[in-house]
Chain A
Amino acid sequence: MWRDTWLIFKRDMTSARRNMAWIGIGIMQPLLYMFLFGPLLEPVIKHTPGFPPGDAWTVLTPALIIQLGLFSSSFAGFGLLADYRSGVVERMRVTPASRMALLLGKVLTNAVMMLFQAVLIIVLALVVFDLDAPLGGVLLSLLIAGLLAIALASMSFGLALRIKSEEAFPAILQAVLIPVLLLSGIIMPITTGLAPDWLYAVSRINPFTHVVDANRAVFRGDFAMDALFTGSVVLLVMAVLAVWWGARTFQRENA
């Protein structure tokens, strides 16, 4: 299985390398937030009580990484739809390669691209915006980013293969992602001090809230925190379920 995973991974990485322009466009969104939104957040955070601890960049940078995952890995399935239309998926499914490998090779490519972009964001935050984060925290944050990409990309591939429609797929994603984004406190942290009780309660149900909290915790160097533990467990459970579900989708239909 690992051999096949490696083969698929290599293929998708080749394709990614040949389409660097798309990755450039993917990273535009977080960069725009850093340049056009970050400066606004600085005074707001300084003067408003109720924000999580840390300055604007320790609050914003980890959140932007999660947002990048939400918006780039979730759309990974779109590329699979192109492969599905051109018959590449069937051509691979007719070989003895393990179905799990067909999924994992793609998912890992996505995770590597995610890490690459996350590193870019962090370096930029460190260099341009004097973000102050411990090295251990940054490394842990990359681990979180990688796991998040695995979870989201698996879900995305599974969803794409079930929906099989280039029109419905992005529409469904948009419908799901916007509430998930707002309810996870990425743009505006949802804390007891800032949000009404009901909104806070709802945000706690959103698993991504816990992932964002965990990522903020590691950026502050807060490794003993509850938030890190909860977030890691939530993320691991999501990743395992997503990979299992995605692999099942690749297996489906088959005799």
Chain B
Amino acid sequence: MIKARGLARRFSARGRTVDAVRGVDIDVADGELVGFLGPNGAGKTTTLRMLTTLLRPTAGEASVGGCDLLADPVGVRRNIGYVAQGGGTGPGFTVAEEIELQGRLYGMSVPAVRARIAELAERLDLAGMEKRYAATLSGGQRRRLDVALGLVHTPRLVFLDEPTTGLDPQSRANLWEHIRALRAEHGVTVFLTTHYLDEADSLCDRILVIDNGEIVAEGSPDSLKERVSGDAASIVVPAGSVGAAAEIAGRLPGAHDVSTVDTTVRFRVPRGDTAMPELLRALDSEGITMTAMQVHRPTLDDVFLTLTGRTLRDAERKEPADVA
């Protein structure tokens, strides 16, 4: 459905050049749900704008929805839907007017698009708001309208640039549900970007991790997490026995990265669930009572940390101030 090779984009403005995307290869199969994960300024939007014919790549080539990006941009446009990060609703128009116009621009007939408005309003919780001006919608309602505009012509391939930013948990869950249904019922291929690790994790078959314009890893959420060596475990012990506990933990098979903070001992271990009972017994036999314990499976944040040496949140904080 998408096949890109060496796609790159360099921006030059006022003597400064920014390599926003540095030659990425992307393959997305029919019916796949792929997530594009990366910190602010990583090049997600730029990549999407190239794949949707909105921005000319400075290098590379791609075929999207069966049409060549450079040779047949109109063919690409016919086959895709796109929801921009910043949305695209005119404040002075009503919900129904906006959806109708978008459907008509995609070549739909008036009756077809009217029927579709009712369907989308129902699906995206916009029912009853058809006559309201976009300017009067709340941020989340407007975001759902943006999504409706991108889906109005039932495209086979949709690009969603941070579709759930600004949505409350309930609407987020609804939209996830809708995205899953698109794929399950209509075989739609979805390519979305996100900041949210849980979103990428629970929604996507496959994740591409992008940092600084390059794809640094890809795979299913689980396979990515396997790259992180083991689960993160921590135990809390009485102040006097922290050193001894750390030593015991370090003797567990495969344990590593042992560290202590106050009365907490942290370490990584391949299988946290089976290692913990063992540790409990070992501590017991030394007369150390554990007061609390925690094990968690690696998160995508851990993946990002392993891959780039920074956490996603760090990467965002260190983002230069002039990046829009």
Contacts and interface: CB of A to CB of B under 8 A. Distances in A.
Interface of A: 4, 7, 11, 14-15, 18-19, 83, 86-88, 90-97, 253-255
Interface stretch (B91-99, B118-126, B222-230): B91-99
B87 interface: yes
A17 B313 CA distance: 48
A227 B319 CA distance: 62
A83 B73 CA distance: 23
Interface in B133-192: 149
A93 B54 CA distance: 7
A103 to B, nearest CB: 14
A15 B90 contact: yes
A94 B83 CA distance: 10
A255 B93 contact: no
A253 B56 contact: yes
A97 B105 contact: yes
Nearest to B78: A96
Contacts of A95: 77, 102, 105-106
Nearest to B73: A255
B297 interface: no
Contacts of A94: 52-54, 77, 80, 82
Q: Which of the four size classes fits the interface of chain B?
A: 20 to 34
B132 to A, nearest CB: 14
B50 interface: yes
B127 interface: no
Contact of B106 (A18, A93, A96): A96
A87 to B, nearest CB: 3
Contact of A4 (B54, B87, B105): B105
Interface in B47-73: 50, 52-57, 69-70, 73
B31 interface: no
14 contacts: A7-B105, A15-B92, A87-B87, A91-B84, A92-B105, A94-B82, A95-B102, A96-B74, A97-B105, A253-B56, A254-B56, A254-B73, A255-B69, A255-B73
B256 interface: no
Given A7-B104, A91-B88, 5 more contacts: A7-B105, A91-B84, A94-B80, A96-B105, A255-B76
